Amino acid sequence: RFNAIQGIAGVGKTTALKTIQETCVAYGFEPLVLADTSRATEEARQSSGMLSMTSAQFLTGVETLVKQDPIQAKHLYGKHALIILDEASMVSSQDFFRLQKIATILDLRLDFSGDFKQQDPIGMGLPFESALAYGIRHAVMKENVRLKSERAFEVMNKVYAGDVEGSLKGLHDRIEEIPLKKEALNRITELYMEVLGDKKEAPLVIIPLNKDRMIVKSLIHEKLKETQRLKGEPVPMPVLL
């Protein structure tokens, strides 16, 4: 009933969902893909064409229905026959168990797809890693299909192996060391705008200190205004703590 797919970033786990979707439809049923975030569910839907929703949305709906009307729950959700949890490493032990329980009640197959070395769950436990370690039937995907650069793939493998020094050496010509903080923050802003270009999705900036993050955020906003990518007056939003 329970299976898993383990694969590092770039091996095509999410892309493989399209093949699974086509196979399932050929056998006469519609699979359902779940993920922990709405963005991940949307990416899974676009890459595979599968019906998708967040794991929280699924659990909230199906658990309530199972209690109120188990026959109706079986009718609505049992038709899927296969549920795939994408980015499974991000799911807490509690939700992992809840999904297994629902799959058993509704007589569904449940497949976990992810990479235990990627982002851990916000909640307690490491259920996906534990399931792999303690014998869940699983397949391992190893072949890179995303990274076009062999060097990038080698560096990623060194990161996964815990060889931080080796990974940094592999990126030696891509690393800038700027001792003065003001110059460094300005350089981050410049690189952000260069990488952004005409792309719709912005690059991700990771900064250790929150006060430095706020400075860079302000600098980026000014650059976006200068280039007319950001228009209008700022709208203040209250934050409740």
User: pLDDT tens for residues 31-86?
Assistant: 889 988 888 888 888 888 888 899 999 999 899 999 898 888 888 887 778 899 98
Model pLDDT, residue 97? 94
Please answer whether residues 90 and 62 qualify as being in contact, where contact means their C-beta atoms are separated by less than 8 angstroms: no
Residue 234 vs residue 167, higher pLDDT: 167
Edge-to-edge strand ranges of the sheet holding 82-85: 51-54, 32-35, 82-85, 109-114, 2-7, 137-141
Structure confidence at residue 200 as a pLDDT band (50, 70, 90): low
- Taking the C-alpha atoms of residue 159 and residue 157, their distance in angstroms, rounded to an integer, is 5
Which residues, at least 6 apart from 27, have a Cβ–Cβ distance to it below 8 Å?
none
Residue count (the chain): 241
- Taking the C-alpha atoms of residue 116 and residue 148, their distance in angstroms, rounded to an integer, is 23
Q: What is the 3-state secondary structure (H, E, C) of the chain?
A: CEEEEEECCCCCCCCHHHHHHHHHHHCCCCCEEEECCHHHHHHHHHHHCCEEEEHHHHHHHHHHHHHHCHHHHHHHHHHHCEEEECCHHHCCHHHHHHHHHHHHHCCCEEEEEECCCCCCCCCCCCHHHHHHHCCCEEEEECCCCCCCCHHHHHHHHHHHCCCHHHHHHHCHHHCCCCCCHHHHHHHHHHHHHHHHCCCCCCCCCCCCCHHHHHHHHHHHHHHHHHCCCCCCCCCCCCCCC
Model pLDDT, residue 132? 92
Question: Does residue 152 register a pLDDT over 90?
Answer: no
Model pLDDT, residue 192? 92
Question: Does residue 4 register a pLDDT over 90?
Answer: yes
In tens, the pLDDT along 80-134 reads 788 999 889 989 999 999 999 999 998 889 999 988 888 788 888 899 999 999 9
- Taking the C-alpha atoms of residue 156 and residue 136, their distance in angstroms, rounded to an integer, is 26
Please answer whether residues 40 and 87 qualify as being in contact, where contact means their C-beta atoms are separated by less than 8 angstroms: yes
Model pLDDT, residue 213? 93
- Taking the C-alpha atoms of residue 146 and residue 135, their distance in angstroms, rounded to an integer, is 29
- Taking the C-alpha atoms of residue 19 and residue 33, their distance in angstroms, rounded to an integer, is 13
In tens, the pLDDT along 216-238 reads 999 999 998 888 888 888 788 88
Q: 126 burial class (0-12, 13-18, 19+ CB within 10 angstroms)?
A: middle
Q: What percent of the chain has pLDDT over 90?
A: 31
Among candidate residues 85, 108, 98, the one with its CA nearest the CA of residue 34: 85
Among candidate residues 167, 97, 174, 161, the one with its CA nearest the CA of residue 128: 97
